[in-house]
Amino acid sequence: MPGRVRSAILWTGLLAALWALVGCSASKDPETEGAGTNVLIRFGKSDYVRANEFVRRFEEGRGDILYIVAPTVDSGPIIYDLVSDGRKVEVRRDDTRDAHGSSAGQTTFSCQAIGWTSKEGRPYLTVSQCEGEAEEHRLAKFDRSQK
C-alpha cells in the first residue's frame, strides 16, 4: 500500500476516534446536568441534585456554598446565600430586588439543620433550628419532573 494511502487511512481513523470520543463526552445525563453549579435558578431535577448534595455534605460535617435565586410571584427574585461549615448554615436573605419585600433588605441568620420538607408532593429545601429568624424557613420549591 502506498504511503499516502496508508497515511490518509491512519488520519481518517484518528479523526473518527477523536470525533467519537468528543461526542461521547458531550452527552448529558439529565439526572445530573448542571449539578456542578453553585447557583440554583431553575429548580428542576439538576438543581434538586445540587441542593441534595449540599444537604448531604452538611450531614457529613463538610462545608459547602450554595446560592439560590428564588422567583417571586409578582416582582423580583429573593436571593439566598448559603454557607455551611458542616455544623451550621449561615443564610443571607436578600429581597432588595423584590418590590414587595421587607424593608430590611438583607437579613442574616444561622441555622443548625438543613433538609427537605414536602408540601403538595413537592420537595422544599428547608433550614430549621434557626436563630434570628423563624424556627423553620422554606428556601425553595423544586419540580423534579423538569430538567
pLDDT at res. 144:
79
The 3-state secondary structure of 125-142, one letter per residue:
EEEEEEECCCCEEEEEEC
Query: Of 32, 58, 61, 51, whose CA–CA distance to 140 is shortest?
Result: 51
The better pLDDT of the pair 83, 9 is held by 83
pLDDT at res. 105:
78
pLDDT digits (tens, 9 = 90+) for 9-41: 655 654 555 455 445 444 455 444 445 689 999
Query: Of 61, 56, 101, whose CA–CA distance to 78 is shortest?
Result: 101
Kindly report the average pLDDT of the chain as a whole number.
82
> Per the structure block, which three cell numbers stand in for 36?
456542578
pLDDT at res. 133:
72
pLDDT at res. 147:
64
Map residue 82 onto helix, strand or coil. strand
> Per the structure block, which three cell numbers stand in for 134?
423563624
User: How much of the chain, in percent, has pLDDT values that exceed 90?
Assistant: 51
pLDDT digits (tens, 9 = 90+) for 43-65: 999 999 999 999 999 999 999 99
pLDDT at res. 75:
81
CA angle, 49 then 98 then 36, to 5°? 20
Check whether 103 has a pLDDT greater than 50.
yes
pLDDT digits (tens, 9 = 90+) for 66-80: 999 998 887 889 999
pLDDT at res. 25:
46
